Amino acid sequence: MKMIITTKNKTEFDSFTKVEMNVGDVFDFTLKDGEEVQAMVVVKGQDKALCILVDCLKDEYPMNSNHRTEGGWEGSMLRKTLNSEILERFPDGVRNAMVAFSNGDYLRLPTEREIFGRTYYSEEDDGVKQFEPMKDRRNRIAFQGKNGAWEFWWLSAVSNSTDFCLVHASGGASTDNAGYSRGVRPLFIISNL
């Protein structure tokens, strides 16, 4: 599987081993079902990078089927979907380089503070920092699939008993009922950089 990092100079690569990527760099890959996606590095460590899809997946998903937020992100139906059927769509070249988050998940959604640098509708630890690329509103705007319309997309933060936080199609903060289908921009960690 060939991937391309889009920076000042385009770099083609087969695996993530010893690939130089920095915050804001974007790389392209194709999911197993043929959907073309791009991922952006939002945090860079010594040998790891936290990445987010540039646009939402083409399919929308509800957070929960019962229109409630009980159990929060950890107990949500979407968390289970991300780490089963959506994760299975990722190509082996990306999957083999992925590292689990501290809770064992390989995919997660960002929090309100990671995207906006503050909370509007949720409660979150003040120590959580905004991803540098998300300071630019354009990086908060996502499309439904690579070429679709502007999309509302889910965050993992709970707003109240029925709503989760989300990013409005214009890049602003909002909330919506957990039972509605919205866009998904998963986060994942790549290792061996």
Q: What is the model's pLDDT at position 46?
A: 87
Q: What is the model's pLDDT at position 100?
A: 98
- From CA 147, how far away is CA 172, in angstroms rounded? 21
Q: What is the model's pLDDT at position 146?
A: 82
Q: Write out residues in the chain with pLDDT < 70, as ranges.
A: 1-15, 17-18, 193
pLDDT in tens, 143-164: 998 888 999 999 999 999 999 9
Q: What is the model's pLDDT at position 147?
A: 82
Query: Based on the number of CB atoms within 10 Å of its own CB, is 22 exposed (0-12), middle (13-18) or buried (19 or more)?
Result: exposed
> How large is the C-alpha radius of gyration of the chain?
16
Q: What is the model's pLDDT at position 11?
A: 62
